[in-house]
Amino acid sequence: MTIQTPDWVKHAVFYQIFPDRFARTTRLDLPPEMQVPLEPWDSPPTLEGYKGGDLWGVMERLDYIQSLGVNAVYFTPIFRSASNHRYHTHDYYEVDPLLGGDAAFFDLLEAAHDRNIKVVLDGVFNHASRGFHYFNDILENGPNSPWLDWFQIEGWPLSAYDGDKPANYKGWWNNRALPEFNHNNPQARELIMRVGEYWIEQGVDGWRLDVPFEITVDGFWEEFRDRVKAVNPEAYIVGEVWDDASQWLDGKQFDGVMNYLFTGPAIAFTAKEHVVMPLVESVGYHPYPALDAKGYAEKIDALLKLYPWEIQQTQLNLLSSHDIARVLSVVGEDMTSMALATLLLMTFPGAPSLYYGDEVGLPGKLDPDCRRTFPDEPDWNRDLLEMHKALIALRHAQPALRTGKYQTLAAEGNCYVFARTLDTEMVIVAVNAGEQAIQVRLADMAMESGTVLYGEGSVDWLGDRTAMLEIPARAGMVLGNA
């Protein structure tokens, strides 16, 4: 079969926003459910507390988001919930009142689309919450509830809150706050399908699917794709799968996954001994042990062989997310390591995704610390911000960096060089993660000349399609035709 993925994703740069922590609106005419006590914005994040970021606040900062060069936003969950992260869904058809409700969301969606910024929502369809109406009815009415079969009830009485008693129903990872759906139930399954369709009909541009590997019912994700794509063939469907995702990337289910198989090697190669091990040992993307250029090349070549090229171009590539410590903290706040990793991120096949605040130097350890509020402007790292803007602009300016084929050219010591080639255009990216300056000779090139478009280093063209690169220690460069 011919695999089809949304063309716009190949040209997208995403910005991931955790809504409670990005921006509070400056509007004065707030509805009463938003006029509530909140934690101080600049206090450390907590597991249960609300900071009060909202969707009108995001809308008011679209100028900033657009100034980065970002043209797509992925929101962690926005639906009604009793948690600051909103993975405990109460109502899939209602935007959380504390975020401004439906009114704020539709204002934001229109404003984003006016700027040609796409909007992708988080779909939490493996489990709901104790407050989800159909499960709450079971808590109220016990065996008399008409929705018993929507969940996986194992016995009576249910204990939704008292941890000293058995829950007697299946919760995600035994978390009684997250009752799992029975996806074999036709009505429960149909509800999820209709939710998927509904928000695409409202103009949303895609879904990021939370823990989709937990749903193992035959044909579930195939049907989800068919129904979402029937509404909008260009809707983006991206799954949260941390490891080999081949079984979901067959062209019949997802367009891509959160590409943690890129994240780990990119950090392991660029940061090496700077990686703070206590921040990464308990999570599954493995930015360790340190990699030299050959080790990085092997990891990347294996990754690029895993999936069809059409899928590779719509992977969601990242260095940080709400589930892991922020990259700045992971690399021990070594700015060079972060700069080199970001260079790899912005030049790799697939759509790069920035986690809000990374671009201005926001640190963050493991959850909940990785969900800090966006800092005030005096606290921004301006150099880091300008670096992100420059790399995003370069990606937009060079079509080869978006859809060009990928080829490793050299992997010597701690220096890795690769090319992105589109038709007759070639862009070369070189990263020297080592402590010594290095020279790299590239022969039989598909280009006869080129200049340094970004970074540190120089190139000497020797004739006969041969170039000599000089790259300082702990530096990177991009070579091409302006």
Catalytic sites, residue numbers: 210, 240
SS3 360: helix
Amino acid at 440: V
Rounded distance between C-alpha atoms, residue 88 and residue 79, angstroms = 9
Beta strands in 258-320 (DSSP E): 316-318
Which residue, 79, 67, 82, 84, is CA-closest to 20?
Answer: 84
Tokens 């697939």 correspond to: 350
333: left (phi over 0), alpha (psi -120 to 50) or beta: left
Beta strands in 128-224 (DSSP E): 206-209
Rounded distance between C-alpha atoms, residue 14 and residue 119, angstroms = 9
- Roughly what angle, to the nearest 10 degrees, separates helices 186-201 and 220-231? 30
For 269-300, b/e burial (b = at least 16 CB within 10 A) is bbbbebbbeebbeebebbbbebbbbebbbebb
Rounded distance between C-alpha atoms, residue 148 and residue 441, angstroms = 68
End-to-end CA distance of the chain: 38
CB 13 within 8 A of CB 71: yes
CB 155 within 8 A of CB 166: yes
